[in-house]
A and B are shown apart, each in its own frame.
Chain A
C-alpha cells in the first residue's frame, strides 16, 4: 500500500499567496523528504526532515513533521509562477547493514499551479 499520501491532489493559487501541502504515512520512518518535479522532468530534492525534528526551514520553504500523527506539511510562502510543479513527499528508511543507503516510498504528489 502507498506509504505517503499527499493532500490535496491538486492546488491552484494566485501568485504571492502561500501554498500548503500535506502528507500522511503509515509506518515509522527514519526521515521524510520533499521533492519537486516539473512536468516531464526529474526530481529535485527540496528538504529533508529527520524523525526527531519537528520543523525545518529552507528559504521560502517550511516543513513540519508530526510523528505522533504520522504527518508532514510543506509550506511555500510568497509563491511564484516558477513554483508551478508537482510536489512529492517520500518517507525514508535505511537498508540495515548498508551504511548510507535508504529506501524511499513516495506519495502520489500534489500538482501545484501558481496563477500569475
Chain B
C-alpha cells in the first residue's frame, strides 16, 4: 500500500500561469480532501470530494481554484492565473472509516 501519493513534490510557476496538483488516494479510500498550509500556519480545509462529486468546497477561494476527482485517475487541484499569495504547501488526504492519511504535499512557489 503506497499511501497517498502527491505530485509534483515541488512546483514553481510564474505569476499568471496555471498550477495542477495531483493526488492519488490510498487504495480503497473513497474520500479525498485538499488542505492548504501557508508558511508558519496550520492546515486549512479547502475541499472534500468523492469520485466524480464535489461534496464540500466551502474552503475553496471563489475564483481561480477548482478541484476534481474523476472516475478514473487522480484528484486534481487546479489553480489558474497564480499569484504570489498562492505560494503554499498543498496537502491531499484520503480516508475510509474516518482515519485520515495525508500525502507528503506539493510545495507551490509562485515567482
Residues of A within 8 A of B (CB): 2, 4, 31, 33, 35, 40-45, 48, 88, 90, 92, 94-95, 98, 100-109
Cα distance, A87 to B40, chains bound together (Å) = 12
Contact B95 A101 (CB under 8 A): yes
Interface Cβ pair total, 8 Å cutoff: 69
Contact A98 B31 (CB under 8 A): yes
Q: List 10 extra interface pairs beyond A42-B103, A45-B99, A100-B30, CB under 8 A.
A: A43-B43, A44-B102, A45-B102, A98-B31, A100-B97, A101-B50, A101-B98, A102-B100, A103-B48, A107-B42
List residues 54-83 of chain B with CB under 8 A from any CB of chain A: 55-56
- A-B CB proximity, top 7 nearest: A106-B42, A42-B104, A101-B31, A43-B102, A106-B43, A100-B97, A108-B42
Contact B56 A108 (CB under 8 A): no
Contact B42 A100 (CB under 8 A): no
Contact B105 A42 (CB under 8 A): yes
In this assembly, does B7 line the interface, its C-beta being within 8 Å of a C-beta of chain A? no
With a cutoff of 8 Å between Cβ atoms, the chain A residues found around residue B102 in the complex are 35, 42-45
A44 → chain B closest CB, angstroms: 8
A6 → chain B closest CB, angstroms: 8
Q: Closest chain B residue to A108 by CB distance? A: B42
With a cutoff of 8 Å between Cβ atoms, the chain A residues found around residue B43 in the complex are 43, 88, 90, 104, 106
With a cutoff of 8 Å between Cβ atoms, the chain B residues found around residue A33 in the complex are 100
With a cutoff of 8 Å between Cβ atoms, the chain B residues found around residue A42 in the complex are 91, 102-105
Contact A95 B48 (CB under 8 A): yes
- Given A95-B55, A95-B56, A106-B43, answer yes or no on A101-B48 (Cβ-Cβ < 8 Å): yes
With a cutoff of 8 Å between Cβ atoms, the chain A residues found around residue B103 in the complex are 42
Contact B100 A104 (CB under 8 A): yes
Q: Closest chain B residue to A101 by CB distance? A: B31
With a cutoff of 8 Å between Cβ atoms, the chain B residues found around residue A101 in the complex are 31, 48, 50, 55, 95, 98
Cα distance, A105 to B30, chains bound together (Å) = 20
Cα distance, A104 to B41, chains bound together (Å) = 15
B11-39 toward A: CB 8 Å interface, digit per residue (1/0)? 00000000000000000001101010000
